[in-house]
Structure 1
Amino acid sequence: MTMQDSEKFEGLKRNLVEENERRYGAEARERCGAAAVDESTRKMLNMGEKDFAAWQELGAEIVSALEEAVRSGADPAGPEGARVCDLHRRWLGYTWPSNTAEAHRGLAEAYVADERFTAYYDGTVVGCAAWLRAAILAHAR
């Protein structure tokens, strides 16, 4: 990676962190505490290019799997739900300081309670946010 590429990559991560802070920062600090948010930011900013690419690919795989699961009528409590729950847990592990089952389930509740999350997951196929919530509640350990 050239210096210019490295600078672009670091800028991309900073932009993601700044956008996340602008949109969710105050709320996240209130719910999770400043230390947890700061640690998540640190993990993102320290992520290497290979891990960043894996994190993005995993995020895209989750959305694709959700859309297919909802379209096909898969049971979120079944094997596909377990697979998607595990993908999502792994995805969170890249940026979350404490990736517990309890925290995972709490986030799952936010996916249907907070219209911003619902709009993201239901952007192409309506029902993905609720399906993901059900899968996480059934399988988070």
Structure 2
Amino acid sequence: MSDERKFESFNREKLNKEEEIQGEAVEDRSGHKIDQADDNFLDMSQSEIKGKNQIEKKLLEKLDNLVQQGATLEKQEEVTDLHREWLTYSWPNYTEDRHLEIINMYEADKRYRDYFGEDRTQELILAVKHVLK
């Protein structure tokens, strides 16, 4: 199997896992169709996925810092910006309203909180709401 084919297969497996976790909730609450996000994900190059993963790693580090050392406006702005950048890899049209909607989904649905972990997610919710509202 060629490297490109392996990469496509890996992307499909990851996408299937995300659909199991999020399913119709993404389609129903966030204002975009999951198929559209799927297409964006499957169209991502290896370097784009690497970029998204690097942003996610930074985001997790910043969230850990918030959990351990507390929040400042500057830290909350950094987290919000990283989360926005992370989301735009999958979302064709970012808006602050849609960002707040996904944050509300994190708050309402444990499956979303499980992705980042409970403490991190609580800090993310607080940060985004504070910065964007």
2:65 to 58, 61, 68: 68
Query: Tell me, which stretches of 5 or more residues in structure 1 are unaligned?
Result: none
Aligned to 1:79: 74
Query: Tell me, which stretches of 5 or more residues in structure 2 are unaligned?
Result: none
Supply the RMSD in Å over aligned alpha carbons: 1.8
User: What SS does the aligned partner of 2:71 have?
Assistant: coil
User: What SS does the aligned partner of 2:2 have?
Assistant: helix
* Residue identity opposite 2:17 in structure 1: E
Deviates most, 111-120 or 40-49: 111-120
Equivalent pair of 2:56/2:86 in contact (CA under 8 Å): yes
TM-score normalized with structure 1 length: 0.84
2:16 to 15, 18, 28: 18
* Residue identity opposite 1:14 in structure 2: R
Distance 2:25 2:106 in 1: 15
Aligned to 1:111: 106
CA displacement 1:51-73 (0-9 Å, x = unmatched): 11000111111111101111011
Equivalent pair of 2:79/2:127 in contact (CA under 8 Å): yes
Aligned to 1:27: 25
2:92 to 90, 97, 122: 97
TM-score normalized with structure 2 length: 0.89
1:43 to 26, 40, 45: 40
* Residue identity opposite 1:8 in structure 2: K
1:132 to 95, 107, 124: 124
Seq. identity, %:
27
Equivalent pair of 1:110/1:117 in contact (CA under 8 Å): yes
